[in-house]
Amino acid sequence: MRQLVEEEGWQWSIESWLLSGVPLEYFSQHTDPVVKKLYGKMQRLNVEEALQKVMGGKFGHIIFRNYMNVILAAHHTDARGHTPFYVGKEGLSIFASFGWGFR
């Protein structure tokens, strides 16, 4: 995140459906100046709008890595497995875990 906010002229977005609950609490209540700046300038775009801006350069989209990998594989990857997008390797752990309970 530090690289994102320190780069000159970069912008970023997140999907509205993601910016609720725990992620909203994380970004809106965090005390780190980097996270505050990221949240303060965050645009709300759907994934396709965001990817169009990413293709234009100097734009990043914050989303779950596995979700993005599915979108890219399904709609933005050629037969040889090439995609014009880069998905970061480092992530941000907001949730402690996911679980399902059933009988």
Contacts of 8 (CB under 8 A, 6+ apart): none
Share the mean pLDDT of the chain.
84
For every residue of 13-66, which 3-state class applies, written as one string? EECCCCCCHHHHHHHHHCCCHHHHHHHHCCEECCHHHHHHHHHHCCEEEECCHH
pLDDT tens digits, 39-65: 998 999 999 999 999 999 999 898 888
Bridge partners for 43 per DSSP: 13
**Mean pLDDT confidence for 57-84:** 89
**Mean pLDDT confidence for 71-100:** 77
28 membership: H or E segment, kind and range: helix 21-29
pLDDT tens digits, 1-23: 788 788 889 899 998 888 887 78
